[in-house]
Amino acid sequence: LNAFMDRYADRKLPEPLIKDFTRMILEGLVSIHGHGYVHCDLKPDNLLVFPSSSRQDSSYEIKISDFGNSLEVGEVPLFWETDFPWVGTPIYMPPESVRDGVANKSLDLWSLGCLVREMYTGVIPWEGIELDDIATLLICGEAPWIPECLPSDAKAFIQTCFSSDPEDRGSAYELLFHPFLPRPEVQEEEKKTVDKTRSSFLLKLLKLRIRGRSLKRKKPTKDALAVSDKKPLKLRFFPTKAQQFKRTLNKVLRLKAIPMKKSSDFNLVSVH
């Protein structure tokens, strides 16, 4: 980003580009913080600018690089107490970097405020001030000076990033919805397209359901009638005993003697 800013007069970037870059940096921080890490050294030297062929909302694309100083949330660098009482590059560090060295997500948001200020003014934070004095100023609750000439929404955004209480800075995701960063028109158009597509889909689904109900109420066709006229198959069971025996078991037996014309030793008896 440093070399890119050198292409502009006094290293001051146009405001639309500043807002685009700020939003892209925040999107990157949302991803980094979402994985449980803090970059700890956000500055122009660690931001890479590319011509954009994929983004419709900007001609350039910015990427966060150099994760050599990155720490897990809540971690303290090994060198903090002995060699170097800063978590990252001093002029971009917040008061807690000097006070306790703990890497929290809000640390990167202070650095982002320094970046936004620098893109507007072309001047680095704490210019001309020694490191020892910077540490003293930070401990006393001071922040880099914000020029009065900046737009009010930009000043409000930077002041939020420079809050002495880390919790008052919010999160990277929350800052994406700050008034300083209006939602891109392309996103609004995409939302309208999605809503329109969703409404069209629901309308088609409703029509299909209505059509399905009407089909159920229609008279059956000839083929359906032909099928319905066919009688269902019936299985025929054969009795295990003779039919006459089965009927006999359910009645009282009656014996009737039938006289025979010819004499014989016995008479036939019929069973009814």
Residues with active-site annotation: 41
Determine which helix (DSSP H) or strand (DSSP E) holds 107, and give its type and residue range. helix 105-121
Residue with tokens 């903090």: 80
25: left (phi over 0), alpha (psi -120 to 50) or beta: alpha
Which one-letter amino acid corresponds to residue 222? Answer: K
- Token readout for 247 is 């009927």
144 burial type by CB count under 10 A (0-12 exposed, 13-18 middle, 19+ buried): buried
**Which residues partner with 84 through β-bridges?**
none
40 burial type by CB count under 10 A (0-12 exposed, 13-18 middle, 19+ buried): buried
Buried (b) or exposed (e) across 103-130, using 16+ Cβ within 10 A?
bbbbbbbbbbbbbbbbbbbebbbbeeee
Measure the CA–CA gap between 49 and 31, rounded to whole angstroms: 18
**Which residues partner with 37 through β-bridges?**
72
